[in-house]
Amino acid sequence: MYGEDLITLLQKSSLRNQPGVSPKTCAALSLWMLHPHERDAIVAREALLQDNDTNYQALVEIFVGRKSSHIALIKQAYLSKHKTQLDQDIINIEPPHPYQKILVALSTSHKAHQADVNQHTAKCDAKRLYETGEGSPGAIDEGTVLEIFTKRSIPHLKLTFSCYKGIYGHDYTKSITDVNSGEFEDALKKVVKCICNPPNYYVKILFASIKGMTADRGAITRVMVSRSETEMDEIQRFFKAKYGIELRETICNSIPSGDYRDFLLALANKTV
């Protein structure tokens, strides 16, 4: 009817102030209307092009929260739109960062493995993590951790961390905290938390973003749009249990009334 793609129109409107729907709402709607793999390709590109620093949190959510088949589609969409490889852009991040090493390892894992899970191998991996972590003096052996991340699928890593708790009586993240923590250990801990308990991870991200406690201002839109299709019910239960207040109520109390808040509430209520 109008000779223009609606998503493209919304994306243009998100870049300028004009009467009607707010730029923030236009940006959120344009993300929501895309296919999930195209959306993730855009989120990954924006994460890499942050003015001050790479948004590693957004990249971790993609590589941990998506199946290998979906990651392949993201990479295709990224290459088609930006004429460059997502993997290579991550490798080329400057200055180098521990998150970068973990993301490269996860990307390699997605290339080589599907949802392969093996109880015996998971126990062996858990023991290796212990022997090169809290079971030995000094910092965690990055090489061992990255090797395991490179060779194992996300479901297998989740089983490995579950085996670790079963064998040693506490979460692997506790062992990371107990060693002489540095940048690599801090990054690893956040990635492991995202792998082991996604709803709890996203709840913390949402609360910090809604309350303005983080520089990652786009986290509210990113998480609400992407997780509304998969685990919004779980996120809402975890949110209420952790903070004693409904996610919807927190949104109403912290975000000014308007079309953007209405859209977030619709996502929370799964009425979009």
Q: What is the CATH number of the domain that holds 211?
A: 1.10.220.10
Residues ≥6 apart with Cβ < 8 Å to 257: none
Q: What is the pLDDT of residues 142-182, one digit of tens each?
A: 999 999 999 999 999 999 999 999 999 999 999 887 766 78
Residue 243 lies in a domain: yes
DSSP state of 241: H
Scanning the structure block, which residue is given the tokens 């949110």? Answer: 239
Residue 218 lies in a domain: yes
Buried b (16+ CB within 10 A) or exposed e, 38-75: bbbbbbbbebbeeeeebbbbbbbbbbbbbeeeebebbb
The confidence score (pLDDT) of residue 231 equals: 87
User: Rounded to whole angstroms, how far apart are CA atoms 145 and 50?
Assistant: 28
Residue 138 lies in a domain: no
Alpha carbons within 13 angstroms on the beta-carbon side of residue 25 total 18
Contact 43, 221 (CB under 8 A): no
What domain range includes position 255? 197-271
DSSP state of 218: T
pTM over 0.85, yes/no: yes
Q: Is 108 exposed, middle or buried (0-12, 13-18, 19+ CB in 10 A)?
A: middle
DSSP state of 235: H
Residues ≥6 apart with Cβ < 8 Å to 225: 28, 31, 32, 39, 267
Weakly modelled stretches of the chain, pLDDT under 50 = none
The confidence score (pLDDT) of residue 64 equals: 95
Q: What are phi and psi of 229, to 5 degrees?
A: -85, -15
The confidence score (pLDDT) of residue 267 equals: 93
Residue 241 lies in a domain: yes
The confidence score (pLDDT) of residue 180 equals: 64
User: Rounded to whole angstroms, how far apart are CA atoms 209 and 205?
Assistant: 6
Number of domains in the chain: 1
Task: Tell me the CA distances in angstroms from 132 to 2, 73, 179, 186, one per residue in order.
Answer: 62, 35, 11, 17
Give 25-51 as a 3 state SS string.
HHHHHHHHHCCHHHHHHHHHHHHHCCC
User: Rounded to whole angstroms, how far apart are CA atoms 23 and 13?
Assistant: 6
